[in-house]
Structure 1
């Protein structure tokens, strides 16, 4: 009887050992329990969460949305008091009008300078005609003076007229040079005023942009997070007012490097969502991260030490969620999922 009891105990212990060994082999996916399905629970739903901040400082005059609201692109979210920026825009417009008036005046000044130049050139022609007359008179009087036919006073008068005509010609030519410089000055001044007008136009555009930036609108369709803006609150540029979560989401699964050998782009993926009672959904591998997750950490591990323990690294894999799934619209960034990929499926 004792021998029989010992035999039964031996068989029971042996059975328990075999079951334990089988469990370990199954847990570690070792033969004969190897599988082509790779699974990880280090996976989460991701999305492009956009933090909305003002570009300028001021008091919040209106909060047009509430927490977790659905918004459309261009919809008003928050409005900052725009009175100061409206006055700055009007001031910039007035400066632009003054610069344009100065530019118009410079055009008139240029035309006046050109008219004075033409007048000076005409005066030179007139003086040249007078000089030719004086030279002709002197040419007639000078032979008569040598013969003593004309009086000395007539000779002196003719010579004085000739000298005056020559001096007038020099003065007229100098006046032409001055008029040319006046025209050039007007042209240069116009270029300066044109640059001033362009600067004033840019100032108006900047003022318009600042005025538009007092209206903070949704950059795209999506749902809002918690709205932090409060009526009457003073906000500075860069203050986080609220967050916008767009409708497009995906899954990022962090597989161990020992699981990556059979993964290919395009392979079908199945995953369950913890928040939806482990509801099953499908997707496909879209692309792989260019480096392991440890390479993007703020404090990177230093493996060049004497006490080294090898740890399997994880590589993020982006998974696109298949369209037209009833529960897809309930997925939100941050949800935990369990991802499974059959490496036997073609990519």
Structure 2
């Protein structure tokens, strides 16, 4: 910018006065005096737009700086107006945003699961594709079932065998419950019979001994009579034969007693053997319980085989979206191998607010949600819950502030925000998408409270709006 001052009126008067000096030198002294320029005065130095009394030397010294004063005034006025506008704008912004908390450290979150087979095998059918929407119960993947069908048939055969063994054990127990008591009764009867026979043998022995004594007496008497010729020889021989027969009968009776005593011992032994009826029944019952256990085991094996066979078909657990598919037909997969990810249910927002922004925030506060991908759409939601711990506390290596130098850092608290209504299907809200939630602090009613109560912190006042 050219700052040279414009020629003043005094300078314009000096130039003709200076040009008149040569002509004045040729004239008289009076002409010189007349031609000499007059000393500058107030009237000579004054500008037409200056007030009286301003001019002379003071006007000549300040003339070049005078145009800068209005410019400085204008600059100061503009600066003041800018500050005033900023102050008014800041006040209006604070007024409009008081009681609001916002953050850009927020993301879409939701339910997600990993689809994995319960059994291994060859993939023979793949009915899903990347980012495909499926409904609950839709068949997703099928594994070759032939090995598991054979395992089921084997389990069915084992169950049939176990059931047959169980029936045999039950029959044995029922038969033992009938036969063993009868055998015990028979043993008791045998003991009684043997004892009766022994008594009879003793009686026979006594009779034989008495007969022997009579026969011996007769033989002795007939022997004496035969010597005296009072008895015939025939009678004498008959008496001796009778004595011998009676002696043989005594011996036979004695032998019979020994036999009956042996029979009594055998009957008592049989009775003792038959007296284990309770133990034998217990053994039969144990065998039946073992057969029952074998049947239960066979049933469990069959159920396991049927479950494994059913696991060869993988169905959608709910309505949702297939993501990160990593399986193809012909792949041999292992049990619990991740085949695809599954996103289902209504999403929500996880917003990481600064801890200084949580004053007055409570469950139930309304939230305006703006998704970066759909900037023109505003979703309505509400605060569901505030995590009881900062994000850094639940990391793999949480900070240890008890050692070393400590530098205070404002922590962030995850806040779960749910949508008031499920978002329209035309808005594809994928997990991890960036959002900007704005919470109306203190404007909601916490769950379980009515009448517009303040919530868990009734004495807290809404904090001034901040943003990050």
Q: TM-score, normalised by structure 2?
A: 0.66
Q: Which has the larger radius of gyration?
A: 2
Number of aligned residue pairs: give it.
344
- The equivalent position to 1:203 in structure 2, one of 301, 309, 313, is 301
Q: Which residue of 2 aligns with 1:336?
A: 434
Matched, 1:295 2:361: no
2:132 corresponds to which of 60, 69, 86: 69
* Contact preservation (8 Å) 2:350, 2:417: yes
- Superposed counterparts of 1:36-185, under 5 Å: 36-147=99-210, 148=212, 150=246, 151-177=249-275, 181-185=279-283
SS at match of 1:334: coil
- Determine the C-alpha separation between the residues in 2 that align with 1:174 and 1:344: 92
Q: In the aligned structure 2, how far is the partner of 1:70 from the partner of 1:168?
A: 87
The alpha carbon displacement at 1:307 in A equals 4.3
Q: What is the RMSD computed on CA atoms of the aligned residues? A: 2.9
Is 2:279 the counterpart of 1:279? no
Residues 23 and 51 (structure 1 numbering): CA distance in 2 closer, same or farther, change over 3 Å? farther
Gaps in structure 2 of 5+ consecutive residues: 1-66, 214-245, 446-468
User: Which residue in the other structure is 1:322 paired with?
Assistant: 420
1:221-256 CA distance string (max 9 Å, x none): 112113221111111122111111113111111111
Distance in structure 1 (CA, Å) of the matches to 2:444 and 2:339: 46
Ranges in structure 1 where 5+ consecutive residues have no aligned partner = none
Say whether 1:243 aligns with 2:341. Answer: yes
Residues 325 and 53 (structure 1 numbering): CA distance in 2 closer, same or farther, change over 3 Å?
closer
Matched, 1:194 2:292: yes
Higher deviation after alignment, 171-180 or 329-338: 171-180
Say which structure, 1 or 2, has more relative contact order (CA 8 Å, 6+ apart).
1
User: 1: distance between equivalents of 2:160 and 2:326?
Assistant: 41
Which is richer in strand?
Answer: 1
Query: Aligned pair 1:6/2:72, yes or no?
Result: yes
1:296-315 pair list within 5 angstroms: 296-304=394-402, 307-315=405-413
Q: Please give the alpha-carbon distance, in whole angstroms, between the structure 2 residues aligned to 1:263 and 1:178.
A: 82
1:324 and 1:193 map into 2 onto residues whose CA distance is: 57
Give me the whole-angstrom Cα distance separating, in 1, the residues matched to 2:383 and 2:341. Answer: 28
Q: 1:32/1:114 Cα in 2 relative to 1: closer, same or farther (>3 Å)?
A: closer
Cα distance in 2 for partners of 1:126, 1:120 equals: 10
Asked if 2 retains the 8 angstrom alpha-carbon contact of 1:268 and 1:345, the reply is yes
Distance of aligned partners of 1:250 and 1:117 in 2 relative to their CA distance in 1, 3 Å threshold: same
Report how far residue 266 of structure 1 moved. Answer: 0.9
